[in-house]
Amino acid sequence: MAKLELHNLQKQYNPKTIPIKDISLGVEDGEFLTFIGPSGCGKSTMLRLIAGLEEPTQGQVVINERTVNNIPPGDRNIAMVFQSYALYPHLTVAENISSPLKIRKTSKQEIQQRIQKVIHQLGLSESLLERKPGQLSGGQRQRVALARALVRDPEVFLLDEPLSNLDALLREQVRAELKQLFKSQNKPVVYVTHDQTEAMTLSSRIALLYEGVLQQLDTPYQIYSYPANSFVASFMGSPQMNLLTLNCQGNHAVLGNYEIALPELSSVPRQIILGIRPEDVRLAKPEDTQTVEGNVYLVEDLGKEKLLSVQVKNSEITIRGLLPADQTWDEENVTLALPARAIHWFDLESGDRIQAKSSQTSVSSERKSA
């Protein structure tokens, strides 16, 4: 059994540069945890702290109930796959894969057995074993780097954007292989990526970072469906969620000529953020009660879908809607439906998600008198 724990981890280079700020979490056997966030958020620094390539300013890295802060990287029994693959160019594939075992003085017979096992797992041909990295394709080099990690049988796997150098088609193929591969390993896996699709499809849980702070730690479904704050809402999802800053009047938020009922609040703020994903916005039907009118000023054809940018009538607010490719409309002016169940509310000052007191939020579509 293996488990990775981070306790109050912080990394500070100077008073103004603190890439990691007091992060605590655990990764269980068989769990695939992905760190994601914008450039400079601290996700690669987290991986280096776990690996021992950086020393934390405070906090503990614990593997199998053993604090490893003062243990060198080579003695932590972890395996790391780098973005650049970090293969030895002068060694053959077989020598690259076996290099961590030779350092441990593993017998030749066991080395051969382990090599055969991992190349079978990864679909590598034996004919590649005598080639050098320069003679391999990008996908083959990536598999060799994975094989070198797997052959060690480590307690924890660390992967730093291992698919970023692959083309889109190969990345999709290898991503599916990775999910199956690490599912069978039953070890903690920590993965770093800037790619939302990788994070959503591979992960048991996602840790979203911003400026060194853990914004949300949850399953892909929860992060997408119930973002903890407006930053998470804006970062996860493509196209981005519509985030509209609206004035409040009484128990309504004002959107152009329309009033939208607020969730039950202890006190009504002057302004609030309304969030709704483009895929939840659609052309209104007669039975829809929550609607707004606007002018279509941009249509982006995405193949199977169209992304409409609509300026709400009598306002400077734009709403984007993701519609089926075969959807049509008669005029440049359209009426959009904003389903109540799809609306998210966020506090303007803190950005935090606002939870309604009741399970259902009433929404009003009464048009204000001009």
Same domain for 203 and 284, yes or no, is: no
Asked if residue 87 and residue 134 are part of one domain, the reply reads: yes
Question: Exposed, middle or buried: residue 195 (CB in 10 Å: 0-12, 13-18, 19+)?
Answer: middle
Percent of the chain whose pLDDT exceeds 90: 67
Q: Which of 95-99, 179-183, 306-310 has the lowest mean pLDDT?
A: 179-183
List of residues 6+ apart from 142 with CB closer than 8 A? 85, 162, 163, 165, 166, 174
Tell whether 109 and 209 lie within a shared domain. Answer: yes
Q: Does residue 363 have a pLDDT over 50?
A: no
Q: Tell me, what's the pLDDT at 28?
A: 94
Which residue type is seen at 11?
K
Residues 180 and 303 in one domain: no
Domain residue limits at 290: 232-347
pLDDT of residue 366: 36
In a domain, 366, yes or no: no
Residue 282 scores a pLDDT above 70:
yes
Spatial CA neighbour of 121 closest among 173, 162, 175, 182:
182
Residue 191 has pLDDT above 90, yes or no: yes
Q: Is the pLDDT of residue 369 over 50?
A: no
Tokens found for residue 45 = 């620094």
**Sign of the C-alpha dihedral computed for residues 246, 248, 251 and 256 taken in this order:** negative
Q: Give domain status of residue 201, yes or no.
A: yes
Would you state the pLDDT for residue 331? 83
**Assigned domain for 287 exists:** yes
CATH number at residue 325: 2.40.50.140
pLDDT band (50, 70, 90) for residue 357: low
pLDDT over 70, % of the chain: 95
**Lowest mean pLDDT: which of 60-64, 125-129, 155-159?**
125-129
Domain stop point among 183, 207, 230: 230
- For 169, the 3-state DSSP assignment is helix
Same domain for 50 and 166, yes or no, is yes
Query: Could you give the C-alpha distances from 155 to 3, 35, 56, 110, 151, in angstroms and in order?
Result: 8, 19, 21, 19, 12
pLDDT (0 to 100) of residue 157: 94
> How far apart, in Å, are the Cα atoms of 115 and each of 149, 185, 195, 370?
11, 16, 31, 75
The strand ranges marked E within 252-329 are 252-255, 258-261, 271-276, 282-283, 291-301, 305-312, 318-324
77 and 123 inside one domain: yes
134 in a structural domain: yes
Instruction: Find the CATH number of the domain harbouring 18.
Output: 3.40.50.300
> Residue range 266-271: average pLDDT?
88
How many structural domains compose the chain?
2
Q: Is residue 271 part of a domain?
A: yes
- 164 DSSP assignment: T
Say whether both 240 and 226 belong to one domain: no
Write down the mean pLDDT value for the chain: 90
Enter the DSSP assignment of 241: P
Whether 178 and 288 share a structural domain = no
pLDDT band at residue 268 using 50, 70 and 90 as cut-offs: confident
| Residues 250-258, mean pLDDT to the nearest whole number | 90
Greater confidence, 305 or 164? 305
Question: Do residues 89 and 183 both lie within one domain?
Answer: yes
356 confidence band (pLDDT: 50, 70, 90): low
Q: What is the pLDDT of residues 33-56, one digit of tens each?
A: 999 999 999 999 999 999 999 999
> Is the domain of 112 the same as that of 21?
yes
Last residue of a domain, one of 230, 252, 280: 230
Residues 217 and 147 in one domain: yes
Q: Is the pLDDT of residue 233 over 80?
A: yes
Q: Evaluate if residue 364 carries a pLDDT over 60.
A: no
User: Is 248 found in the same domain as 196?
Assistant: no
Show which of 174, 205, 230 is a domain's final residue: 230
The pLDDT value given to residue 1: 54
The model's pLDDT over 297-323, given as tens digits with 9 standing for 90+, comes to 999 999 999 999 999 998 999 999 999
